[in-house]
Each structure stands twice: as C-alpha cells, then as structure tokens.
Amino acid sequence: MAEAFWLIPLIPGAGALVLLLFGSRMPRRWVSWQSTLAVLASFVLSAAGFARLVRAGPDAPALAKTLLPWIASGSFVAEFAFSFDRLSAVMALVVTGVGLLIHVYSVGYMAGDKAYARYFAYLNLFMFFMLVLVTASDIVLMFIGWEGVGLCSYLLIGFWFDRPAAAKAGLKAFVVNRVGDAAFIVGLLFLLTAVGDPSFAAINAAPAAGLVGPGLATLAAVLLFVGATGKSAQIPLYVWLPDAMEGPTPVSALIHAATMVTAGVYMVSRLGGLFAASPAASAVVAWTGGLTAVFAATVALVQTDIKRVLAYSTISQIGYMFLGCGVGACAAGMFHLFTHAFFKSLLFLAAGSVIHALGGEQDMRRMGGLRKRLPVTFPAFLVGAMAIAGVPFLSGFFSKDAILTSAFAGGHYVLYGLGLAGAVLTAFYVFRMVFLTFYGEPRAAGAHPRVRESPPVMTVPLVILAALSALAGLAGLPVLLGGRADLFGRFLEGVVVRTAHRLAASSEVLLILAAAASALAGIYLAFVFYRGSPALPARSAARFPRLYRLLTGKYYVDEAYEAAIVRPLVRGAELVYRRFDLEVVDGALNASAAAARGAGQGLNTVQSGLLRDYALAFLLGVVIFLGALLL
Amino acid sequence: MSAFASALPLVSLVTFLPLAGAVLLVFIRGESLKAVRAAALAVSLLTFALSLFLFFGFDGASGLPEFVERASWLGRGLDYHVGVDGLSLFLVLLAAFLTPIALLSSWRAVGDRVKEFSVFMLLLETGMIGVFVSLNLFLFYVFWEAMLIPMYFLIGIWGGPRRVYATMKFVLFTMFGSLLMLVGVFVLHAAHHQATGGYSLAIADLAGLALSPALQTWLFLGFGLAFAIKVPLFPLHTWLPDAHVEAPTAASVLLAAVLLKMGAYGFLRLGLPLFPLAAASFAPALSVLAAVGIVYGGLMALIQKDMKSLVAYSSVSHMGLVMLAVFSLNFEATEGAIYQMLNHGLSTGALFLCVGILYERTHTRKIADHGGAAARMPVFAGIFLVVMLSSAGLPGLNGFAGEILCFFGVFAANKALAAVSVTTVILSAAYLLWLYRRVLLGPLKDPGDPRLRDLDKRELAYLVPIIVLIVFMGLFPGVFLRKLDASVSRYLDAVKTPAAATLGLAPAPERGQTAENRAELER
C-alpha cells in the first residue's frame, strides 16, 4: 500500500473536482461522506507510508514516484515527481490527521450553510494542494502546492463572499502572499540556474558540491525565506493572517493554524542543506522568528476578538518554529509544528464551538461564564491553553523547551531570552482568553439565553485533539531523560539538518525549570489581572495609554503599509496615467481645438482635433521608442 | 492521415476557407440571422478542424517549415509561399480556435448587420492566419495590411460610442508602422537583387543575405517600429486601451488574442533573424522598454475604472514579458515567449469574453457599477476565477508554464530585468483579484436586477473549451513545447551565429540545443 503514496494528494484532489462540478446537485449527506472519506483514505495511505519508513530503518531511501513530465525546455526541467520520506511522512500525517478531524467538525459547524458543497469542495482542494506541497520531490512542483494552498486560503477566507470584509481579507491574503512569492521565484531562479536540477536532493547537495557558493546560498535562501514570511505570516508579511479570520472557523483551524501557515517551516526544513550552508541566512531565519514570536504575542495581549488573539498567537508560535530552524534545530522546529498543529487547531475549534454556541459572537468582552454551559468545550479549550502556555508535561511544554534549549545551547542567548519572554506573554494572553471567556459572570446580559453545547460531531474532534495536545509531547521527551528519548528528533535524523550541541545535564535541568516557571508566571499574571483584581486591566491601560493604544492599534503596521506602499503606488499610477497616457492627448486636444477655432473653417473641430492628438501622442511614443534604441 | 494531409494543400485551405466562407455569406439572404450565424460558425469550425490536421501532422523534428506550398505569383520574387513551423503553428491554431468562439460569443451582442459582421470576422481570420503562414515577405505584408481592414470596420461599425476616435487612433498607429515596413520590403528586395542577381522575397533567402550593419540598423528600426506598435511595446501602447474599450467583444477577443501576437511574431519571424546584428545591438534597449512595460502596464491596469481598459493594460504588461523573453535570445526564454503568447491569447481572450458577458447583462463596463454578481452567477464566477488565475500565472495552469520559462530565460540573460519582470506576479494578482472582488464579490449591487442570470448553454459552449485548454496546457506543456524545440533552435542559430561571428566570439554552445544543431555548428 505504501507504494501508492502518490495517491495521497490525488484522492482529495479527485474528490474536490467531483464536488466542484456536481456538488451543488448532491445531497448534503453524500457531500459530507465523500469529502471526509477522501481525507480518511489519504490518512490511511500516509499511515501506511509512515509504517513502511519506520520498518525500513533510518538509512532506507525515500519512496519515490515520477508520474509524468511537466515543464521541460532546454535546461529547465520540472516533473510531476513525488517522494515520501520521513519529513513528508510527519507532514502528511499531521495534514491528513488534523484535516480529517476538521472535516468531521465542519459537518456540524457548516450544517446550516447554503453553500455546503462548495465549502467541502474547497476543503478537499486544499488537502490536495497541501499534500502536493509536502510530497513533491522537486521545488517547482512544490510551488504548485505552495500557490495552490494560497488559492484555497483565498477562496475560504472569502467563503462568505457577500461580506465586504471577507472579500477584502481574501484579496489581501492573496496579494501579500504574492509579494513573498515574487521573492521566492527570484530565489528559485538563482537556485535553478546554479544547480540545474530542481530536486530538493540536488539543491541540498549543491553547496557541498561547490555548485552554490556561500554568497549565492545566502541570497537564494533569504529570498526563499521571504516567500516563507508570506505563507507563514512572519514579519514583515504577516499582515494578512489576522484579517484571514473572516473565514469560517474550521478553516482558520486547518489552514491558518495547523497546516498551510506552517508550510514555510516545512520548506526551510526541507532545504536544510541550503540554509545550513549560509549562517547569515540562518541568522535571518532565527531573528525573524524570534522577533515575530515576541512582537505578535504583545499584540495578542490586548485583542478582544477571540479569533484575532488566536491569529496573533499563531504568528507568534510559528515564529518559535523559525527560531528553532534558524539556530540549526529544524527537528525542534518541526516538533513544535507537530504539537502546535494539535493544540492550535484545538483552540480554534473550541473557540468555534463557543462562537457557534453564542450565535456568532466573537468578542470576548461579551462572553464570560461559559464554563458550566459548555461542559466539553471548556475542558478541551483549557487543555489547549495549558499546552500552548507550556504547562509542564503537556505537548507545548516539550516542543517549546526543545527550541529554547537549542537556542541556548547554540550560544544564541538573546534569542533564548526573546523566546522565554514570549513564553510568559503566551501564557498570559492565552489564560486571559480562558478567564474572559469561561469564567466570571456572563457579560452579555440576556443576549445568549440559550447557550448549548455543540453536537457530538463537533465535540468528538475536540476531545481527540485535546488528548493529542496533552500527549503528543511524549514523542519528543528531552534527551536529558536518556538516549531513547526524543523519538521525534531521532525519527527525523538524517532527513532534517541538526546542529548537535550538548549541554551539561545540570544546565538542561535549569532551562527546563526556567521554561516551566515562565509558563506558570504568565498564567499567574493572567489570574491576577482577570480573576484576582478585575479592575487591574483598565487601570494598567489608563496608566500607559500610549503603549495600550500602540498595542490595540497593532503597532499601526497596516496603516503604515497603506500610507507608505499602497497609496503612493496607486496615486503615482494615477498621476502617470493622467500625465502620460491621457494628458498628452487631452492637452493636444485643447491646443488643436483652439487652433481649429482660430482657423475658423468649416472643419469638424472634434475630428480634426482628435486626429492631431493621435498624431502627437503617437509621435511622442515614437520619439521615446527610437530614443531608447538609438541613444 | 499523413497521406491525406500531404495530398491536400492544407495550409492554403486553412487560410482561405474563411475567405471562401465570407464570399458565400454574401449570397445568403441577410434577413435570416440564424442562417448567417450558423453558416459563419460552420465555416470557422471547419477551418479549426482542418487546422488540427496541421497540429497532428506536424513533425517538427527538422525545425523547417512543413506543409510548404510554393507557386510563382506576381513574378520578381513576389511568390505565393506558405507553410508552418514551430514558431507559427500554434498561432495558426490559436486564430482558428478563437474565431468560432468569437463568432459564437456575438450571437446576442451583435444584432445589427449580422451578415456584414460575420463577413468581416471571416475575412479577419484569413488575414490573421495568412500572416502566420507566409514564408514570403511580400505575402506577409499583404496579409498584414489586409487584416487591418476588417478590424477597422469591426470597431468602426459595431464599436462603442467613441468608436470613430478609437478606429482612427488604431489605424493611424498601425498604418504608420506598415508604411515603414513597406519601405523595408522594397529595400530588402533591392538588396537581394544586388547581392545575388536574382529576385526573391522568400524569408529564408533574405535571412541568408549578409546585410551591412548600417543597413540592418535602418531596416530593423523600420520593421521593429511596425512590430513594436502592434505588440504594443511601451511607450507605443496608447492606441490599445481605446481600441479595446470601443471594440465589440468579438473584435476585442481577436485583437488581444491574435493581433497583438503578430508584433511579437514579426520580431521572431523577421526582425531578429533578418537583421541579427542590429537585433543584437538593440536587444538590451528593447529589453528595458519591455521590462518598463511590464510594470507600467500592471500599474495602469490597477487604476482603471473600466473593465475593458483594465484588461487592455494587463495585455501591455503581459506582452511586455513576452517581448522581454524574446529579446533575451536564449532557448528557454524563446520557447517561454512563444508559449506565453498562446497562454495570453487564451486567458486574455477569455477575460474579454467574461467582461462581454457582464456587459451584455448590465450594459455597463464601469467597475463601480458592478458588485456581488457571484451570488447570482456562480458558474460564471467559477469560470472567471479560473481565467483570472490563468492570467495571473497560478502554477498548474497554462500561464505559469510560460511565465516560469520566460523568467528563467530572462534571468540567464539579465538578472536585474528578471527581478523587475517577476513583479508581474504581484501586479497581476493585485489588479485581477481586485477587479474580481469589486465586480463579483461583496453584496449584490442591485438585488432586484433580473438581468443577472447565470451562463446559458451557448456561453458555456464557448467558455468551457477555453477552460479545458487552460488546464491542459498548464499540466502538459510538453505536448506543445516538443513541437517547438527544433524550430526554436534553428531560429536561435540564425539570430545568434552571425552576431557572434562578427563580434569575434566563438559561437557559444546554446543551452538546450539539440545534438543536430550542435553538429551543424561544428561543420
């Protein structure tokens, strides 16, 4: 069965095609079953592939399959070539596993939507592109998946396209991602020209083979990473993700938390050989990640929309993953990707359950006291919150610790400090959510009288994800516990690059204690602010009004981009349009009309005027054209 | 089939069948709209069917023209000489594919003087195909000129309110270019006579003339200007938005999809191979203009308030990339350019069809007058989406395959210009998706409007084939590219070898060259 791994993307792809063409005429039940079973089939195949790789041992080659040629011209060659190695296996399992749960959850969440079939068609289409992304064996084919998931993200953010905000957010997501992709393409061109082979294996081997020098490696790696900052929502291109919350909540969980947004981390891990060849590029990755982790966490502190908090939290957590990759610990970064997929999709789905129960309410200021009303959602959310906050022995604790330990061991003390500070902030904002949403008195008086727990089709995925969020960390216990620990890291050994730094056991214990302390400190602070003395948040805001406004205004980055890039571009274009394409003509029109009046003849003024305008505009064009050629 | 194909003058049939159809139409009584429309469509479909024999029968291994027909005509080298090679084959197919689509798309839009309209459309088809199949320079010129006339009438009679203005501008620009070209034809004729004592305007013979660099420069400027206007290359583009805005949908489709390609094709067929020294020295400057056009066209498209002029400016941007690739003078860029010409033909043709469909329902092309149509027209919204993504170069669709080859080839020639050209990835997404958002998404502008109905069978019949081709060409570009390889190698030999020899360089082995060509070089 493992040989058929190339069907992993194709099954949901075929499912999507059927749903797109005929879905609107199918019964809903059929749509739900077909789309979910397609993902289940991919999950089973992924598991079979995974099992095969485990049995085959660490030195066995990846499964590979070249289906067809694709684009070939001269020295440019790209094929429909897929491969399935241990990194692909981890990604495919996460994507299909979480994807499966989210398909099931969506059956309940989207039950009342009139475009039910279109929703599942897009969801299956997303699975197709995401799985192409993680099983492509060359970088050009990966780009199909890379842009394809962006397309699905666009379609699903704007799923309720009659809402102006949703349509706008989809557009923003696509265009911002395209900015990153333009850089990605330039990086791709540098690599393809130098290496002459688009396969990941060739690119990773190129620095050692002398095909890619250090300067070129840095340039190409940084350009590709700019692409990753788009897809994975890092500084400076993260601005689309908070707006992406306009999409249905299960979509936010699947695409904008668990899978697509982590594609950049996957890509950097996949190209470990290239990034390892450039310490400068690795430093860019690490610093971008570290700064984003703290930056986004500070914004999350004051947001009141439950989904926005989670969005900024995702930006911040992906920052951690890049921090890990950048300090040479891609296995740790991937481990955090793995655990994050569970606890963040859990948080989103639980938040979705809350929103569902409150009839669409997303503002935490109008929530509160839901603990008893939502007896499954609440504990599930709490487990997710503890996992992301890094409460000891839950999954997030181990994966975050793995990253921070690697940073410290590699001598990146400032980055380590950033990470630790971010951990406090994370614990604070996530428990702020817990307290505001589930504790205290219901704040929307009489608004939600009939709050009821969601149906099992939604709560069962929550319970499964909660279990995974709690336990997934066991896959990567700290090496401190012995050579048999860190299953996850050992599984990926040889596939992703890892700079081994050994720490003394005593320092490692200290680091673990520091991580645990930062999590507990954050939770305690949140308790003080939102349970202990409820007047404190308002008082703090009043005390530091500027800081508070800066944070609630999200550092005004959107406004700055608008003022510095978008508006000048549009204004400039309008100016040039008027001055060059139109004014030459209009100016000539006036002049010739005057001339015609002066002549006072029975000429058709407009006609003759126009004729002269064409002549003038045309002549100017010719002069510029010839000038460019002859000078 | 090859026996069948070789027994027939296939190229002539494909070229002149529309003309014959046009003559036939004149004798159909004009009152019967149905008969006129059906006859015109049948003729164009038959032409397309015949052109498929060209596709399947084309071998492409030699790189030389195939299906060649040659007969003396006016004497003194003014021969009838046609055939197709890798450079022209797909442009012929494109014209033959899109003409029936354009005809079908105007069944409702054109209700006035339908017979004349159909006659001009068929005449236009003969003109377009004739340009691509001509292997004699004089014949090329005749078709080039002849094609202008039906387009002139199509815009001038069935165009929008400012059609007179637009037609004048269109004719003025293109006539000026043609005039320069005509002078060039005379000069080449004389030069060939002087060099050989014989008379010939066969393009292959003219390419063999060792023209002096000075003469090449002047001739290149003459021909180049005519072609650059047609492309249109920045800053000679200002006729295009007006022509498009005023033209009826069917004319817009063929104008964007096929007529603009003639400029680029002119450079490939004549401008670069006949005057290689001049081409080599002008290529850097022309590359800069092309790159400017990519950004300029994209920015202008961003701010247009009329859907048609937005698509028109997007053509300026897209054709800028094609020209940049053409002037990069390497294998990947040239194949990419040719492929991208086809892709642009399909996607931009389809964009005009989509705009036309909206216009037929709402009678306004102003973007601000639209909004939320997707709610009423879901099938249309889906098709528009695919077309838009094709135009924006989404990987897996046709636009990407051409675009990435263009980028790759341009990058090999000039990294800075390649980086500039890649901005089209951002700009095209921005202007197209923004258009889509304003026209199709958001709340429905006028919920009571009964005219916003989804596509009918006729509209599906002409849009679905394009969508299928967009996907097919994106997934299997090899089916098309393999037929180009030998012709492109041969073309690059003609363009690059003389330049290298004169500049005292050894002919550098061209990447992607076939073994055959390498052997040829060594001899």
Q: Is the pLDDT of residue A597 over 60?
A: no
Closest by Cβ to A625, choosing from B164, B235, B437? B235
Band the pLDDT of A602: cuts 50, 70, 90: very low
pLDDT in tens, B101-143: 999 999 988 888 888 899 999 999 999 999 999 999 999 999 9
Mean pLDDT of B164-177: 78
- Chain A, residues 48-77, CB within 8 A of chain B, namely 68-76
- The rounded distance, in Å, linking the Cα atoms of A202 and A185 is 18
Instruction: Give the model's pLDDT for residue A459.
Output: 93
Instruction: Give the model's pLDDT for residue A580.
Output: 76
Instruction: Give the model's pLDDT for residue A441.
Output: 84
Q: What is the mean pLDDT of chain A?
A: 89
Q: Cβ distance B385 to B470 under 8 Å?
A: no
CB pair distance less than 8 Å for B239 and A618: yes
More confident residue, B242 or A591: B242
- The rounded distance, in Å, linking the Cα atoms of A451 and B37 is 63
Question: 10 Å Cβ neighbour count for A457?
Answer: 15
CB pair distance less than 8 Å for A628 and B285: yes
Chain B residue numbers touching A185 (CB-CB < 8 A): 404, 407, 422, 425
| Main-chain dihedrals φ then ψ at residue A324, nearest 5 degrees | -60, -50
Q: What is the mean pLDDT of chain B?
A: 89
Max distance between CA atoms of chain A, in angstroms, equals 102
CB pair distance less than 8 Å for A573 and B475: no
Closest by Cβ to A178, choosing from B224, B407, B425? B425
| Main-chain dihedrals φ then ψ at residue A75, nearest 5 degrees | -90, 5
Band the pLDDT of A622: cuts 50, 70, 90: low
Task: Using DSSP, state whether A69 is helix, strand or coil.
Answer: strand
Sign of CA dihedral A97, A100, A104, A107: positive
Sign of CA dihedral B13, B18, B23, B25: positive
pLDDT in tens, A529-563: 999 888 888 898 899 999 999 998 999 999 999 99
Chain A residue numbers touching B375 (CB-CB < 8 A): 161-162
Instruction: Give the model's pLDDT for residue B481.
Output: 95
pLDDT in tens, A193-205: 999 999 999 999 9
Shortest CA gap A585–chain B (Å): 10
CA-nearest residue of chain A to B222?
A626
- The rounded distance, in Å, linking the Cα atoms of B101 and B98 is 5
- The rounded distance, in Å, linking the Cα atoms of B415 and B409 is 10
Chain A residue numbers touching B330 (CB-CB < 8 A): 74
Nearest to B337 by CA among B231, B216, B255: B231
CB pair distance less than 8 Å for A569 and B282: no
Mean pLDDT of B354-370: 92
Q: E-strand spans in A150-224?
A: none
Chain B residue numbers touching A164 (CB-CB < 8 A): 442-443
- Chain A, residues 121-150, CB within 8 A of chain B, namely 140, 143-144, 146-148
Q: Is the pLDDT of residue A358 over 70?
A: yes
Percent of chain A topping pLDDT 70: 90
The H or E element spanning position A82 is: strand A76-84
Q: Is the pLDDT of residue B367 over 90?
A: yes
More confident residue, B334 or A445: B334
CB pair distance less than 8 Å for B422 and A185: yes
Instruction: Give the model's pLDDT for residue B1.
Output: 44
CB pair distance less than 8 Å for A182 and B236: no
Chain A residue numbers touching B288 (CB-CB < 8 A): 628
Instruction: Give the model's pLDDT for residue A594.
Output: 53
Q: Is the pLDDT of residue B39 over 70?
A: yes
- Chain A, residues 150-189, CB within 8 A of chain B, namely 151, 154, 158, 161-164, 167-168, 170-171, 174-175, 178-179, 181-182, 185-186, 189
Instruction: Give the model's pLDDT for residue B211.
Output: 86
Instruction: Give the model's pLDDT for residue A311.
Output: 96
CA-nearest residue of chain B to A194?
B412
Instruction: Give the model's pLDDT for residue B510.
Output: 44
Query: Helix, strand, coil proportions of chain B in percent (round to 5)?
Result: 75, 5, 20
The H or E element spanning position B71 is: strand B66-71
Q: Is A569 on the interface with B (CB under 8 A)?
A: yes
Residues 6 or more apart whose CB falls under 8 angstroms from that of A210 comprise none
Q: Is the pLDDT of residue A621 over 90?
A: no
Q: Is the pLDDT of residue B76 over 90?
A: no
Token readout for A510 is 């200290």
Task: Using DSSP, state whether A78 is helix, strand or coil.
Answer: strand
Max distance between CA atoms of chain B, in angstroms, equals 75
Nearest to B96 by CA among B277, B368, B342: B342
Q: Is the pLDDT of residue A71 over 90?
A: yes
More confident residue, A581 or A277: A277
Q: Which range, of A324-338, B198-212, B425-439, averages the lowest pLDDT?
A: B198-212
pLDDT in tens, A374-396: 999 999 999 999 999 999 999 99
Instruction: Give the model's pLDDT for residue B521.
Output: 42
Q: Is the pLDDT of residue A244 over 60?
A: yes
DSSP label at B197? S
Shortest CA gap A604–chain B (Å): 13
Shortest CA gap B149–chain A (Å): 19
Mean pLDDT of B312-330: 96
Mean pLDDT of B130-157: 91
Q: E-strand spans in B422-495?
A: none
Band the pLDDT of A591: cuts 50, 70, 90: low
**What is B69-84 written as a DSSP string?**
EEE--SSTT--EEEEE
More confident residue, A182 or B519: A182
Q: Is the pLDDT of residue A586 over 70?
A: no
**What is B87-131 written as a DSSP string?**
HHHHHHHHHHHHHHHHHHHHHHH--SSHHHHHHHHHHHHHHHHHH
Nearest to A254 by CA among A135, A429, A124: A124
pLDDT in tens, B238-277: 888 888 888 999 999 999 999 999 999 999 999 999 999 9
CB pair distance less than 8 Å for B238 and A585: yes
- Count chain A–chain B contacts defined by CB atoms under 8 A: 179
Nearest to A438 by CA among A395, A383, A516: A383
Band the pLDDT of A583: cuts 50, 70, 90: low
Query: Helix, strand, coil proportions of chain A in percent (round to 5)?
Result: 75, 5, 20
Chain A residue numbers touching B331 (CB-CB < 8 A): 73-74
More confident residue, A70 or A590: A70
End-to-end CA distance of chain A: 66
Q: Is the pLDDT of residue A417 over 80?
A: yes
Q: Is the pLDDT of residue B466 over 50?
A: yes
Closest by Cβ to B225, choosing from A163, A193, A622? A622
Q: Which of A124-128, B59-63, B67-71, B165-169 has the highest mean pLDDT?
A: A124-128
Q: Model pTM? A: 0.92
ipTM above 0.85, yes or no: yes
Q: Is A25 on the interface with B (CB under 8 A)?
A: no
Angle, CA of A204, A206 and A209, to the nearest 5°: 130
pLDDT in tens, A144-197: 999 999 999 999 999 999 999 999 999 999 999 999 999 999 999 999 999 999
Choose the mutation target among B408, B410, B476, B496 for the interface with A, i.e. most A CBs under 10 Å: B408
Task: Using DSSP, state whether B73 is helix, strand or coil.
Answer: coil
Q: Which of A489-493, B304-308, B508-512 has the highest mean pLDDT?
A: B304-308
Amino acid at B472: F
CA-nearest residue of chain B to A606?
B165
Token readout for A434 is 């817990």
Shortest CA gap B112–chain A (Å): 25
Instruction: Give the model's pLDDT for residue B236.
Output: 85
